[in-house]
Amino acid sequence: MSAVTDHTTTLPAAGPSTNGASASDRSTLAGLDARSISAWFGTHKVLDRVSLTMHAGEVTALIGPSGCGKSTFLRILNRMHELIPSASLAGEVLLDGQDIYAANRRLTDARRQIGMVFQKPNPFPAMSIYDNVVAGLKLTGLRASRREKDDLVESCLTKAGLWKEVRDRIRQPGGALSGGQQQRLCIARSLAIKPRVLLMDEPCSALDPTSTRRIEETIAELVSEVTIVIVTHNMQQAARVSDRCAFFLASHSTPGVIVEHGPTSVMFENPQDERTSDYVHGRFG
């Protein structure tokens, strides 16, 4: 790759290209604290005073039946909920103690610090693998020299577990990759802007078991440097990847609430609420 240098940059230093957090990665770890979150679409209330602490450096899994508000809650965590015209919300989301909804906080700050990976891989299909990874820099106003971008692309693709597979075709279109590779490219793209939290909305639901396992390995490797919140319908996956779980439940007459949350081992082996036990053991939902 070219080593031609542009000029100034505000890009934070690239992390290690091997797995494991450096001291600087660890110092940027941040937790999220959702306090009394309620959410509406028009007059339809879909979440009712949901509070949850998502600890720094851990994977928190949001589980529960379809329609109980998991994705809505996730979108509230990085201010994507407000993109929907009929949507409104109440409550606070604290990133490292600071409310991302405070009047003096910019929307782009929240999006930059709290990244999102979606259910369906959504790389820019005609854009090269390289350009996909660095695409977020421009959108978030970060500048980087060519050399810094080269380092960043390698570092992020390595962290996303894709570098070895694509290093020889980095200029080929992102759309030419397999579904699982595209999802890992999307993870690399999210990592390029150095988020402190990564939100993942059913990131494996469109993938085969091998690709799913690869993403799960990636999650395990990433969590030492970025706090992760994942929505999943797959209970085995929640048990495999998460440190803590929160079980959401709603009914047609009542909005979504968290019935129970706690360490994943307790949620699966010794839940306090019978509904949690029924759900994690596949007896409903």
Ligand X SMILES: Nc1ncnc2c1ncn2[C@@H]1O[C@H](COP(=O)(O)OP(=O)(O)OP(=O)(O)O)[C@@H](O)[C@H]1O
124 binds ligand X (CB under 6 A): no
Contact, 261 vs 52, CB < 8 A?
yes
- Provide the residue type at 156 as one letter: C
Binding mask 76-105 for ligand X (x = CB under 6 A): --------x---------------------
Q: What angle do CA 162, 164, 168 make, to 5 degrees?
A: 105
Nearer to ligand X, 84 or 102 (CB): 84
Please identify, among the stretches 68-76, 98-106, 181-189, 276-284, the one whose residues bind ligand X according to the rule CB under 6 A: 68-76
DSSP annotation of 256: B
Nearer to ligand X, 66 or 210 (CB): 66
DSSP annotation of 226: S
Q: How far is the CB of 259 from ligand X (least distance, A)?
A: 13
- Provide the residue type at 68 as one letter: C
DSSP annotation of 34: E
CA–CA dist 132, 155 (Å, integer): 14
Exactly one of 71, 155, 242, 264 binds ligand X (CB under 6 A); that residue is 71
33-62: contacts with ligand X (CB under 6 A) = 41, 46
Nearer to ligand X, 68 or 192 (CB): 68
203 binds ligand X (CB under 6 A): no
Regarding beta strands 59-63 and 244-249, do their DSSP bridges make them parallel or antiparallel, or are they unpaired? Answer: parallel
280 binds ligand X (CB under 6 A): no
- Provide the residue type at 157 as one letter: L
- Count Cβ atoms below 10 Å from residue 269 Cβ, excluding itself: 11
Nearer to ligand X, 16 or 285 (CB): 285
* Site for ligand X, rule CB under 6 A: 41, 46, 64, 66-72, 84
